[in-house]
């Protein structure tokens, strides 16, 4: 029987930091208010394109796996903020990496996108379609975030995380999964006019940013992340006490805490980094997994649970049996370029758009 093991991991975070103090200059808020409600202290803002971040994260993942890009069979790029609809952003990433033997495609399940993509990649490997797959979660949410809207400006950030998944005969990797959606609730978290719903002409600020009905999304996120997490643990033949680490989508610290309580998991078994990066949508889980490995929070043979929830409304969970290796085979010096611009200078195109009525 073919299994699929995570053999490489990497991340990329833009150097520009947007702090809560910075947001105090833009909207009626405070560090205490944001921290109490979300757990977020700062987030990163991209000064380039999303696939630039995806490339850096991917090069670190390839190095950790000891692979060259031409050894990849497929690239799955999870994003809800693509550089373009035609072509898919995965095409740009394939070109950046010179992954000449790989197919490439985007997958959009919003904040659940990485877990959806991980499950899809595992199934393709199990079916013998591919042997080595790069799975990336990347977002440039600063493009669709209105930093004059207090409800959403405090939440979102930019970043990328990536993993390499390889075929193996060892019984490791994905042991159980659940993918779900309730498409009747799309209005709870959306960009109102996007894709072919838009009309030819300039973007309208009133309909071009993320909108969020926070309390209802919060309630559903806690329920579905905890229920799907419990379901995959059961389907894997584990007990909740067996779980060594929950790697959840980093949307809100209170959501993470509430879901962990429902699962009966102590905080020592939950990885969080939302304070540093905010909600990077499909990138949160691979970034968190990479940092968990870097910090020694994952040991050989550990039992992990990934759980996510996002627009759509989608949810996804995976029970993952970790393999023997938790150290990278090699490292990469890939890095995003630094900038001399201040955070407000980086945000200027966004602020001009939402203040001055579109483009």
Residues marked active site are found at 111, 249, 279
Kindly give the residue spans of alpha helices, DSSP state H, lying in 210-332.
Answer: 214-235, 253-263, 274-277, 284-294
Q: What is the token pair recorded at 234? A: 């059961």
- Distance, in Å, from the CA atom of 266 to the CA atom of 272, rounded to the nearest integer, reads 13
- Distance, in Å, from the CA atom of 287 to the CA atom of 337, rounded to the nearest integer, reads 19
User: Which has the closest alpha carbon to 106: 124, 81, 128?
Assistant: 81
Q: For 177, phi and psi rounded to 5 degrees?
A: -150, 160
The total of other beta-carbon atoms located within 10 Å of residue 16's CB is 22
CB 280 within 8 A of CB 157: yes
- Distance, in Å, from the CA atom of 308 to the CA atom of 272, rounded to the nearest integer, reads 13
Query: Helix-strand-coil percent breakdown of the chain, rounded to 5?
Result: 40, 25, 35
The total of other beta-carbon atoms located within 10 Å of residue 199's CB is 8
- Distance, in Å, from the CA atom of 97 to the CA atom of 60, rounded to the nearest integer, reads 12
| 278: Cα separation from own chain's centroid | 11
Q: What is the token pair recorded at 299? A: 């040991």
Query: What Å distances lie between residue 105 and 80, 117, 153, 167, 260, CA to CA?
Result: 13, 10, 30, 20, 33
- Distance, in Å, from the CA atom of 323 to the CA atom of 271, rounded to the nearest integer, reads 19
| Environment class of 223 (CB within 10 Å of its CB; exposed 0-12, middle 13-18, buried 19+) | middle
CB 317 within 8 A of CB 307: yes
């Amino acid at each position: 029987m073919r299994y699929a093991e995570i053999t490489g991991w990497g991340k990329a975070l833009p150097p520009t930091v947007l702090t809560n103090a910075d947001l105090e200059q833009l909207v009626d808020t405070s560090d205490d208010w944001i921290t109490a409600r979300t757990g977020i202290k700062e987030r990163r803002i991209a000064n380039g394109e999303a696939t630039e971040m995806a490339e850096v994260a991917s090069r670190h993942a390839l190095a950790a796996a000891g692979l060259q890009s031409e050894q990849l069979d497929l690239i799955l790029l999870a994003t809800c903020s693509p550089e373009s609809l035609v072509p898919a952003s995965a095409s740009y990433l394939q070109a950046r990496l010179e992954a000449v033997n790989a197919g490439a495609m985007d997958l959009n399940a919003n904040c659940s996108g990485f877990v959806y993509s991980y499950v899809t990649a595992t199934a393709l490997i199990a079916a013998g379609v591919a042997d080595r797959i790069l799975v990336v979660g990347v977002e440039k949410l600063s493009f669709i975030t209105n930093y004059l809207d207090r409800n959403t400006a405090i939440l979102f950030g930019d970043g990328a995380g990536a993993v390499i998944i390889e075929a193996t005969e060892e019984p490791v990797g994905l042991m159980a999964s659940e993918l779900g959606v309730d498409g009747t609730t799309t209005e709870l978290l959306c960009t109102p006019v996007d894709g072919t719903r838009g009309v030819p002409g300039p973007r309208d600020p009133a309909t071009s940013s993320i909108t969020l009905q926070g309390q209802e999304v919060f309630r559903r996120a806690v329920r579905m992340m905890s229920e799907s997490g419990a379901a995959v643990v059961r389907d894997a033949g584990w007990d909740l006490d067996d779980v060594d680490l929950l790697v959840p989508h980093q949307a809100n610290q209170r959501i993470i805490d509430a879901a962990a309580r429902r699962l009966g998991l102590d905080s020592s078994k939950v990885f969080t980094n939302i304070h540093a990066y905010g909600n990077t949508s499909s990138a949160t889980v691979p970034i968190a997994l990479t940092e968990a490995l870097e910090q020694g929070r994952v040991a050989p043979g550990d039992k992990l649970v990934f759980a996510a929830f996002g627009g759509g409304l989608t949810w996804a969970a995976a029970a993952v049996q970790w393999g023997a290796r938790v150290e990278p085979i090699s490292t990469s010096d890939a890095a995003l370029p630094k900038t001399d611009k201040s955070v407000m200078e980086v945000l200027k195109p966004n602020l001009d758009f939402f203040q001055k009525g579109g483009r």
